[in-house]
Structure 1
Amino acid sequence: MISYLLKKLGYALFTLWGVVTLVFFLFYLMPGDPAQMMLGENQTMEQVAAVQKKYGLDQTLGKQYLYFINDLSPVSFHSDNADDFTHWDDRYSGSSIVKLGGYHVVIKTPYLRESFQKTGKQVSEVIGDTLPNTIVLAIASILIALFIGLALGVISALYRDSWIDKVIQVISTMGMSIPSFFSAIIAAYLFGYLWHEYTGLPMSGSLYEMDDYGEGIHLQLRNLVLPALVLGIRPLAVITQLMRNSLLEVLSQEYITTAYAKGLTTLQVIKRHAFKNALNPVVTAVSGWFASLLAGAVFVEYIFGWNGLGKEIVDALNTKDLPVITGAVLVIASLFILINIAVDVIYIKLDPRVKLDT
């Protein structure tokens, strides 16, 4: 187990380095100067130069990349020179372990830098404010997909080739085919605008909102309904199909025939034997979809005005806010990797025949 986790950790670090590198260089292919976008239309050359110096944008692309990796790395090098961009100061949280010439070798938490557009606000704060909302949305979506998808999958398998099965198959196929941004627009228009009088659901809104009098921030669970349903449509369709096919395969096994021969009812066979054994492919799908929902929530959050990490990424792309973009992508990639490792371990619990690849 330990060797497996260390191997996975090595792959994870290599993957994260690749993700950060790709995002960094793609960022510099985007048109526009971040310094000018920060200052607005009335900036002077001196102001632009000062902002570029502050954020290291006056350095060559190679140096900017090395500085960027140095800030993200848990082991980094920092100068004693206060004029050096790598100067060790209160931006970083860590401690020096050895001094080499004019540089300190430091162990620290990864520094995601300061947002270009939210002056004085650290990227870690931006992510801390928005990531919980995205996680709540993703959890709500996957729970909806799980409860409805598993139920539909079992019903579809039990009524194989009947009209019920065919209707469920058509619905699940449509669910997999429709893009989330399209279904989000349709749902917002129908349930949030056209039928708002009956549903009471808003077209947009976040988990917490300030009241009309500005006296406090209140939890608004009704704002969660539409984005969670829309985001859960595709995983729901996948889970339905997987559960149906997996359950049909399990029900064809000899031990199921033996269970029926012992006098067990269909409900008892499903509950005691078939259901758990049919869950393996579903668990794998849920893990992948949960991680994907964190990334795929971008369009859904933007359309519904949900104050999550996805909406923050879109805003950062529009304003060329590299630290926020990179920090958000890095967090999502890290969560994706951690979820996949956790699922491998859970898989062992569900099916002892599966062995970890060490």
Structure 2
Amino acid sequence: MLRFLFRRLAVVIPTFIGITIVAFAFVRVLPGDPVLLLAGERGVSPERYQALMAQFGFDRPIWVQYWDYLVGIFQGDFGTSISTKRPVIRDFLTLFPATVELSLFATLFAVLVGVPAGILAAVRRGSWFDQVTMGTALVGYSMPIFWLGLLLIILFSGVLGWTPVSGRISLMYFFPPVTGFMTIDALLSGQKGALQSALHHLVLPTVTLGTIPLAVIARQTRSAMLEVLGDDYVRTARSKGLSPLRVIGLHAFRNAMIPVVTTIGLQVGVMMAGAILTETIFSWPGIGKWMIDAISRRDYPVVQAGLLLIAVVIMFVNLFVDLLYGLINPRIRHQ
């Protein structure tokens, strides 16, 4: 198992270097000048402009800027925000729990609904349930996140009044953050109704962010189950008189798990990309909204660090999925 892990880690290092190059180059091709945006509408004198360029290091050659950027990363320094003058890593660690919390709830929603729906659709292939499930999954996959979010707000917040429009918790609750996860902090606060309010605010963002992954997971689960349900070992298990639940759960689904786990792991990237739109629509104070604001201000250190850190999170989730392969199917480790 350790050799399997070391082989995967050997791939992570060059991937990480490639991500730093992409993040560094991306912000440089964005239109606009961060110094002019920082100076405001009245502009800045040529002398002041050159002084600001030197202050932020933009007057140095590109390769020197990249080298300093790379050295800073390995020293744990991701730069200082041009607009807020705060260390980027501090802002990231402050806002990241909100994005993680939303992504975890969206993932749970997608997995707990998508996997059983895919299994039942495969077992009842060709039935009305199969057709309705796959048709709904296709609609969910085709629906843009921003459009779905707005529709949910109009229906459940505007027309029915069941859910709040934005934010993480009602303004009537206030307590110092402990973990950064609003549901946990609300529970620790001991305030009556705080946890319920936090969960209430999570409903629409969770459904919006989790709909596309749910559709993908349901379709992939159905496809993987259909491949194994016709195999010899499944027919043998049925002929031995095993219960349908044992045949499907223990024999069929266990062998269909690898493509399903792969799909769930890949959806983390979708979650991170979708979080940018979801957090903007619902005014969710997380990494997505932070990145959008930084791009509009041409805040190079924030955009660079945000892209890099999000990519690192996705990279380690994929590494975790690779390790799960080895646990699910030991033959993968030996290969």
TM-score normalised to structure 2 length: 0.86
Q: Does 2:170 correspond to 1:192? A: no
Partner of 1:28: 28
Equivalent residue, structure 1, for 2:139: 174
**Of 251, 255, 273, which residue of structure 1 is paired with 2:229?**
251
Superposition pairs of residues 159-308 of structure 1, within 5 angstroms: 159-196=124-161, 199=162, 201-206=163-168, 208=169, 210-211=171-172, 219=186, 220-308=198-286
Relative distance call for 1:157 and 1:271 in structure 2 (3 A) is same
Structure ranking higher in helix proportion: 2
Whichever residue aligns with residue 187 of structure 1, its letter is L
1:270 offset after TM fit, Å?
A: 1.7
Per-residue CA distance 1:82-113 (angstroms, 9 max, x = gap): xxxxxxxxxxxxxxxxxxxxxxxxxx3x2101
Rounded to whole Å, the distance in 2 between the matches of 1:161 and 1:254 is 22
Name stretches of at least 5 consecutive residues in structure 2 with no aligned partner.
Answer: 187-197
Q: CA deviation at 1:116?
A: 0.8
Query: What is the aligned partner in structure 2 of residue 309 from structure 1?
Result: 287
- Structure 1 residues 47 and 191: alpha-carbon distance in aligned structure 2, compared to 1, 3 A threshold: farther
Which residue identity is paired with 1:330? L
1:326 aligns with 2:304: yes
Question: Of 109, 114, 119, which aligns to 2:80?
Answer: 114
Counterpart of 2:143, as a letter, is: I
Counterpart code for 1:145: A
Number of residues paired by the alignment? Answer: 316
Q: Distance in 2 between matches of 1:10 and 1:154?
A: 36
Which shifted more, 312-321 or 264-273?
264-273
Greater fraction strand: 1
Separation of aligned partners in 2, 1:303 and 1:355: 43
In the alignment, is residue 344 of structure 1 matched against residue 306 of structure 2?
no
Deviation at 1:265, TM superposition (A): 2.4
Q: How many Å apart are 1:24 and its aligned residue?
A: 2.2
Q: Which amino acid aligns with 1:317?
A: I
Using the TM superposition, name which of 28-37 and 308-317 deviates more: 28-37
Which structure is richer in relative contact order (CA contacts within 8 A, separation 6 or more)?
Answer: 2
Q: After superposition, where does 1:93-108 map in structure 2 within 5 Å? A: 108=75
Identify which range, 184-193 or 333-342, moves more after superposition: 184-193
Stretches of structure 1 that go unaligned for 5 or more consecutive residues are: 75-107
| Aligned partners of 1:291 and 1:335 also within 8 Å | no
Once the 2 structures are TM-superposed, how far is the Cα of residue 171 of structure 1 from its aligned partner?
A: 0.6
Q: TM-score, normalised by structure 1?
A: 0.81
1:124 corresponds in structure 2 to 89
RMSD over aligned Cα atoms? 2.3
Residue of structure 2 in register with 1:135 after alignment:
100
